[in-house]
Amino acid sequence: MLAITALENTDEFKMVEYYVDEAVIEGLNTETNQTVSFSGAQYKAIAARAMEGAKHNQEKSTLTNIRVVEESETRFVVTAARTAESKCYTEPEHQYILEVRDGRLQVVGEEGSNHLLVGGEAVA
């Protein structure tokens, strides 16, 4: 639990190392108002490219007001306010689904502004 809440005010890109390849990430593109969906592997590749651009442009996306709900001994729902500073945009209820796998917490799903699918199963 301490490791999760220690991410308060951290750069969101630091979360990428916790994504499993089979994670399902769905969200709403606020510019096009369309739902987007990626696997964890796709998201990590996209994030790697985005990190380079963000570093160059000194952009920052932070997580604050982190709340953790323990669904079981190995599954947690983490809700946080996600702020994209360059876009002056805050999403107050961004969610990450974490599970303990191989002895460490890993992201298996993420909810942007829409419903969330984890492993093809709707959970919200």
Domain-by-domain residue ranges, the chain?
2-122
27 with 111: CB under 8 angstroms? yes
- C-alpha 124/C-alpha 116 separation (Å) is 6
Q: What is the pLDDT of residues 48-92, one digit of tens each?
A: 777 777 666 666 777 888 899 999 999 999 898 888 776 677 888
**Strongest mean pLDDT among 4-8, 103-107, 113-117:** 103-107
Architecture of domain 2-122: Roll (3.10)
- C-alpha 68/C-alpha 1 separation (Å) is 8
Reported pTM = 0.64
Q: At 82, which helix (H) or strand (E)?
A: strand 75-84
Per 3-state DSSP, the chain is made up of helix, strand and coil in percentages (nearest 5) of 25, 55, 20
